[in-house]
Structure 1
């Protein structure tokens, strides 16, 4: 360790690339981990005064991995709440039905569309959030509402699942700084909501004792949440925002760790090559191969720990600055703030250390094989730049990448994108491994215009002599340009193909779609000439299992409801004359066929047995039901869109769009987050590429001081030497850019062929040369600075 410490102290400049790479990696890791650990689920503020919350039991998980909990019917919830109220220490047990509502101002829906899905509440549930009236009285009948920011007696326009309505404000709610929503009479909330998903308890007794008593009372009929467990009730729309943000942070962490390994590996490899005589001397005076390896590990450990101590606080300081941009871009929910997370800093330092050690493994192994005789050798030419192992690995990678591109059109749709990325990565790896061979013809081609000048000759021959040095500079440029062109081109090409594919699904010219709302109301749909489907969620029970499925209500001859709703918010439990059509996959999972009977539990909690009318492999949804039946049991459901077969009728919360415009909007909305992820990756990759290129050139130029003195003795001026170094640097960057762009273009051609075979029509290939030029220009500027700094800093005189 003492020898390693002496090396680090006296030759710190040669470790600068490793230091900067690890420091940047640790800073990225620390900031990402701080943001991730700060992003914790939170129970909605409207339950702040309810220490205990009771939910229906789970029946499985949905497609997002979230617990599936069928709602209670109003009568089930009311009965259970009555039992819970009888427990000592419980002041109230309040069912909390929620329904969709948005306020209309000048005919336009306002507020957050997703949050509005659960914006309507029963007045009794105001106690769960500690909400009180500042003025007026509670609502007691249909058409009355209490809300914050309103005045008693005021008439307001609202939009619900039924359509636009005008309500009278009876009370002004004090919302305690949170959006409390709209409160209506309990009977109205029960009638408008699709069942009851929760019962909240307000207490005077000990939380723990009451929770245990509640669990003993209800048994398997419900789940009692207390303390931090209440955070499970964070709305799904908010949880998905956190999930999206987490994916970006995970990508940044993984990319930061990988790039750190990559830069440290290339830096240590070049350093070991330049230190052959030094390491040979150590071997000559008795150092064993194991001691050489341990010395390099110790050097890297010292540099990594020093860099980690610097990088971790920088990341922690930057994390709060990133919180607001993440909220603004939809990667974190409103109100998110980064907090002090010491565990994140410690973890970042450790990960940075392990990444650095992983990067030095190969270089340390090679260094340990240096012979003592290397101390007596001095050669300007690179010794054997292409060992047999590099040949074999490079050719195998190229063959595997080419084979993947060849078979890609025959793969399943789900596998094509993965195969395309895999093929590109293999080809990039092959190009990097074979670059010492590929560099020679490319250098001769690029340098041909200046072959008759003295500077051109020096640049060409110096580059061809130092193939390993050029390959070390070109490799990170190759990878970055290749990935930039590949990813941006692939996404742009797929977006074009997605637009073609999605537009083909609509054989009409126009659609009626939501306008700043989560869906279309029944009134908006009823006035249109066209077709639509009403989405819902149902639980299907067969003798051995219960599963949740997406359902769709379609208009058909058997769509009329069976009878009027019975009781307050109650709906029929038997649906004589109605039936279900199952998708073939659904029927296979349930093990049923046409003519069988299935037991359904609807969104409102009611149960019914329905016959299976047919099994259709082209069904609109896993379970297709009459629209009126879905509406009867899911009064809060909203329609996604109407496929118009005539002129659109104006409706609140809706707009008519040409199919092409709608498809482009959908593609753009999906592409926004993809582009954000993409440019975050490209920016971080470009940063590491700059470090790798700059460090490689700094080390290379510093090691060529003797060569530069010879040029001065031969009569070259400082300006001419700078010109030679600049030209060599630009040539190395150009080689990497050419190889990267070529590999990416080949991969994109294969991806386009696969997409065309899937769609059965031609697709435009999009190659983002602008992005490639921007990355290449950035690398070139860094290379020029890195080549010039050592020359300007140190005298090159004889």
Structure 2
């Protein structure tokens, strides 16, 4: 009852906690809704085939995805014959897929799987709406007008197809034999059947044994193309980061808000203790107050987050964070989980404040003085110095660490130093304030600002801490990304031994026709399975004209040893390793003609030119630097998106922390401002004093954060230079740092002005 009465009558004191939890719950609810809506789904083109057969898995790749091998033509024929023994199975339809792209149309990430056999249209329930099915090479069924000419790009090169039929299904459908001849093997067979799908699947698995994995119903989600799954994975990383940062930031804001509230309620808590309240009762009261606020905030924030989630679905598709067709759907678990998480993080945030509040002595009710007796407690000194020592030790130890550990160590050192700066801020605020206000000591406003700030060092530190962390993180993250991108451009260009390259132009790779006759060296990309003893793993391979069989040391195959390969078409072959090269262009390098013979759908990433290129469809010539920069920009686009979303969320929580701290602190200083008015100060002078104090606190935090971020960046640059073996420019993101600092200062000014203006009636 006491907790409810406190919340009801003093809700303004809990505004910071309420807003922080509301925002955190909304972020979590929206992010989890988007995440759960993005779980792998059975491909739409298999909607009419409830039972599918997948080729055997031989392990997992670097992304944790199953490494699926292809069936050979003989294996596929035997499997089909076995499956037809079940009378419930009415059709056995292999599903070869291959690369095809309409000429002049930008690839949106699906071109590699847009080519199909006409028989596989039945797996999606697609039908002819006009015309006929394809009967020979060069004929296609697509969502185009019958008898129209279709200019396409394939792995072979530019082709002109005749549209002989119109269908309601996506993609391009050619004859079954033509599709088999173009595809990099077959890994999926669809079944049309009668009866219960689970029973059919069980019977099919019994017939096949280890020759394939039968999947039915929702389990068909495992058939989602790896390219689509990886797009979902990218989006999932952003959503997970948002949930994690939202939860931790909520704890931070709630903790600072509750600590300030407890300090301002010291006399009230002392009165409760004098009235007979035990420390446990005081703790339970604070926990109950926070739980009520968190529950109300959760009930508002969770529906808000789920309502906003569908609005973010289309932008996520546009940014390449989700596959085409993605939609956010209602997820009850996201709502309930977000409310529960909001309650838990709020209680975690109030824990320290509740413990301190329970130790308030009854005599505190008789104390009138509000001036701080000391800016630093012994525990804060110890914690700050220990964290500072740990961060400094990491920076000092970086030169002797392994190269691959230096960047991570630099990030860890930066976070420790930022934490130490926040803990020790009261120590450096005094000297900084004296230095900053020195020129204005003679003025009345300057004197009041100076003495008021020095008297309330802990209040200033509470305002400066979130600004410090935000500016420090902004400088560190944006500077680190910019520095690494600068280094990547240098390193990437050095790996291309030519001034000009022939690169794909709006396509996933170069066709065979685009590469043939070009003056230079090309790399045909494929993936092979290699067997070492009892273990089979997938490896990227490059087909280079005239190249001997070459492996890197990581492949684990000795010079002159047999290399057991399984090709993309499912066939196996044993080759002899002729060269071990740690600088090879791929883990396995093979003769180009051999790769092409086993992978008709393989594409070339680029051609390193040694002369003037010949014009080719889907290709363009550009300098090595521009080629590398485009790849960096493409990756950087996603990195920048991640970066600014995280910085934006951090800045949002900083706004809450700064605004709430200053609103509460300014409101608590009403007697002080009333005394100033009685002494002759006008409203404008009071506003100038509060504005100067707010700006001073924000600038102090920004300077400390910028200094720590810049110091940490030097360690990151040193790690990058050591890794590359050459000098790298240190990029300081002045625009981002100044922008965030200015935003924090503006918020601080507004947060102090509002209570003063609202209470102007009390001036007399």
Q: TM-score, normalised by structure 2?
A: 0.97
Report the equivalent of 1:771: 736
Deviation for aligned residue 1:332 = 1.6
Contact kept in structure 1, 2:97 and 2:179, CA below 8 Å = yes
Report the equivalent of 1:683: 648
Q: Give the secondary structure class of the aligned counterpart of 2:741.
A: helix
Change (3 A) 1:51 1:379: same
Report the equivalent of 1:168: 162
Report the equivalent of 1:204: 194
Deviation for aligned residue 1:457 = 0.2
Deviation for aligned residue 1:715 = 1.5
Aligned with 2:604 (options 628, 633, 639): 639
Establish whether residue 584 from structure 1 lines up as the match of residue 578 from structure 2.
Answer: no
Report the equivalent of 2:335: 345
CA distance in 2 between partners of 1:50 and 1:261 (Å): 48
Deviation for aligned residue 1:747 = 1.1
CA distance in 1 between partners of 2:625 and 2:76 (Å): 46
CA distance in 2 between partners of 1:257 and 1:505 (Å): 42
Aligned with 2:593 (options 628, 650, 667): 628
Establish whether residue 453 from structure 1 lines up as the match of residue 446 from structure 2.
Answer: no
Q: TM-score, normalised by structure 1?
A: 0.93
Q: Which runs of no fewer than 5 residues in structure 2 stay unpaired?
A: none
Aligned with 1:734 (options 695, 699, 709): 699
CA distance in 2 between partners of 1:172 and 1:139 (Å): 7
CA distance in 1 between partners of 2:731 and 2:49 (Å): 55
Runs of 4+ off more than 4 Å: none
Report the equivalent of 2:429: 439
Deviation for aligned residue 1:482 = 0.9
Contact kept in structure 1, 2:118 and 2:133, CA below 8 Å = yes
Establish whether residue 115 from structure 1 lines up as the match of residue 110 from structure 2.
Answer: yes
Deviations 1:583-616 (A, max 9, x none): 21112xxxx4223223221110011222233333
Establish whether residue 300 from structure 1 lines up as the match of residue 290 from structure 2.
Answer: yes
CA distance in 1 between partners of 2:661 and 2:260 (Å): 7
Deviation for aligned residue 1:713 = 2.0
Q: Give the secondary structure class of the aligned counterpart of 1:434.
A: helix
Report the equivalent of 1:151: 146
Deviations 1:41-89 (A, max 9, x none): 2222222221111011111011111111110112221221122123111
Report the equivalent of 1:46: 45
Deviation for aligned residue 1:557 = 6.4
CA distance in 2 between partners of 1:544 and 1:332 (Å): 37
CA distance in 2 between partners of 1:125 and 1:111 (Å): 25
Establish whether residue 249 from structure 1 lines up as the match of residue 248 from structure 2.
Answer: no
Deviations 1:462-493 (A, max 9, x none): 00000111111111111111111111111111
CA distance in 2 between partners of 1:230 and 1:378 (Å): 71
Q: Give the secondary structure class of the aligned counterpart of 1:533.
A: strand
Deviation for aligned residue 1:639 = 0.9
Establish whether residue 463 from structure 1 lines up as the match of residue 429 from structure 2.
Answer: no
Q: Give the secondary structure class of the aligned counterpart of 2:613.
A: coil
CA distance in 2 between partners of 1:704 and 1:159 (Å): 73
Establish whether residue 326 from structure 1 lines up as the match of residue 316 from structure 2.
Answer: yes
CA distance in 2 between partners of 1:324 and 1:211 (Å): 36
| 32-41 or 655-664, which deviates more | 32-41
Contact kept in structure 2, 1:90 and 1:205, CA below 8 Å = no
Aligned with 2:580 (options 596, 605, 615): 615
Aligned with 2:625 (options 625, 638, 660): 660
CA distance in 1 between partners of 2:680 and 2:85 (Å): 101
Q: CA RMSD of the aligned region, Å?
A: 1.6
| 34-43 or 357-366, which deviates more | 34-43
Contact kept in structure 2, 1:529 and 1:644, CA below 8 Å = yes
Change (3 A) 1:409 1:511: farther
Aligned with 1:533 (options 523, 532, 535): 523
Contact kept in structure 2, 1:737 and 1:776, CA below 8 Å = yes
Report the equivalent of 1:140: 135
| 650-659 or 721-730, which deviates more | 721-730
Deviation for aligned residue 1:113 = 5.2
CA distance in 2 between partners of 1:297 and 1:740 (Å): 32
Establish whether residue 280 from structure 1 lines up as the match of residue 246 from structure 2.
Answer: no
Report the equivalent of 2:748: 783
Deviation for aligned residue 1:150 = 3.4
Q: Give the secondary structure class of the aligned counterpart of 1:593.
A: coil
Q: Tell me the number of residue pairs that the alignment of Structure 1 and Structure 2 aligns.
A: 763
| 490-499 or 42-51, which deviates more | 42-51
Aligned with 2:418 (options 403, 425, 428): 428
CA distance in 2 between partners of 1:157 and 1:715 (Å): 84
Q: Give the secondary structure class of the aligned counterpart of 2:762.
A: coil
Establish whether residue 97 from structure 1 lines up as the match of residue 96 from structure 2.
Answer: yes
